[in-house]
Structure 1
Amino acid sequence: MVPAGGLSGGLLILWRKDLAVFSVLETSSQLVVGKLEVIGKGSWIIASVYGSTDAQERKLLWENLEKHCSVDLPLVVGGDFNCILSQEEKRGGRKFSMSQGSKEFQQFLINSDLHEVKASGPRFTWCNSKSGSARIFEKLDRCLINSLALNTLQVALVKHLSRIASNHCSVLFEMFKPVEVIKRDIQYEEVWASYHGATALVRKIWNRKSIGNPASILNLKFKKALRGLFSGLRRNTII
């Protein structure tokens, strides 16, 4: 835990001891970096960030993080960066301009081989809680991973949750969510008959020898013909 300073700042890391071991590597007022050993999932570097509103102090954050980004392990960096990169990440208030702080953040992402995970939910993660024309929304919170993590994870999901008792959205990053296999029935489309090669494909499947009673054979050939047409169209082999 890094204590808060007044009404802002502060970091708290929690983990389940029966699933993982977390070893702290570095702490400061803006970050906690640690090595997470997940049972059956290997070793990961996890960095939780609470960036300063002061650009000069954030520069120290980028320098401290870069040291850990060079490690040959999957890396996840997440939290409140207190910095935006474009007008698309802001609504209300003064028009966005690429400040020195934003340029340094952008350069840090390039130097550190960090990629933002696409998120679902509210577009902006922070609101100044004012009303009318004084209301401002910004995307201050995000989740970043390096190329090694990108190649390791089958599915990486980020969700911006609703703001509750805070002017920030909670950010949920699911690293090891199992891949859901959706089974669906394939239905014949009339337009398939107009594609070149479709007739020959069906004839080839239909002429294959099958074993079983007539009803089972007929049903099997229907299924194989539908699957063949569907797969052939997706690979553009019968168009």
Structure 2
Amino acid sequence: MDQFNSFIANANLLEVSYLGDQYTWCNNNAGPKRIWLRLDRLLTNLARSLAYPNLKLVYKPRILSDHCPLVAINHEPTRFPRNFKFCKQWIQDEDFPSIISRS
């Protein structure tokens, strides 16, 4: 594991953040012998990270394997429209009519 971590560091790789459950692998045992780990990750370099700043990794539910399927998506953050507030004092500004007409 140390060699693998050294490789990641020496190659300047970055881990893509994920959405959803944090575990990607299960040993499929029952009860107290069940083990869950996050083994599967997506690594990228700085150039790709800057080119796709919204890239996220989604872990899908396990079905036929002991590993979760991974799906990379370009996740746009949810943005809510801002409420518009009008201040009466703006009317008194001498540039107000021209600003309105340009808008």
Q: Same fold (TM over 0.5)?
A: yes
**Equivalent residue, structure 2, for 1:160:** 59
Cα pair distance change 1:181/1:207, threshold 3 Å = farther
2:9 to 88, 110, 120: 110
Shift of 1:153: 1.4
Shift of 1:181: 7.3
Q: Structure 2: how far apart are the matches of 1:183 and 1:123?
A: 27
Matches within 5 A, 1:193-212: 205-209=90-94, 210-211=96-97
Q: Structure 2: how far apart are the matches of 1:130 and 1:181?
A: 38
1:140 to 20, 29, 39: 39
**Equivalent residue, structure 2, for 1:85:** none
Shift of 1:140: 1.1
RMSD of aligned Cα (Å): 2.8
**Equivalent residue, structure 1, for 2:24:** 125
| SS of residue matched to 1:184 | coil
Cα pair distance change 1:184/1:108, threshold 3 Å = same
State whether residues 154 and 179 of structure 1, in contact with CA within 8 Å, keep that contact through their aligned partners in structure 2.
no
Structure 2: runs of 5 or more not aligned: none
**Equivalent residue, structure 2, for 1:185:** 82
| SS of residue matched to 1:157 | strand
Write out per-residue CA displacement over residues 8-30 of structure 1, whole angstroms, 9 at most, x where no aligned residue: xxxxxxxxxxxxxxxxxxxxxxx
Cα pair distance change 1:144/1:178, threshold 3 Å = closer
Shift of 1:154: 3.8
TM-score of the pair, normalised by structure 2? 0.77
TM-score of the pair, normalised by structure 1? 0.36
Q: What is the identity, as a one-letter code, of the residue corresponding to 1:128?
A: N
Find the structure with the greater CA-based Rg: 1
**Equivalent residue, structure 2, for 1:229:** none
Shift of 1:166: 1.1
Shift of 1:104: 1.4
Q: Aligned pair count?
A: 97
Q: What is the identity, as a one-letter code, of the residue corresponding to 1:140?
A: L
**Equivalent residue, structure 2, for 1:18:** none
Comparing both structures, which one devotes a greater share of its residues to strand? Answer: 1
- What percent identity do the matched residue pairs reach? 25
Structure 1: runs of 5 or more not aligned: 1-101, 189-201, 212-219, 221-239
Matches within 5 A, 1:75-94: none
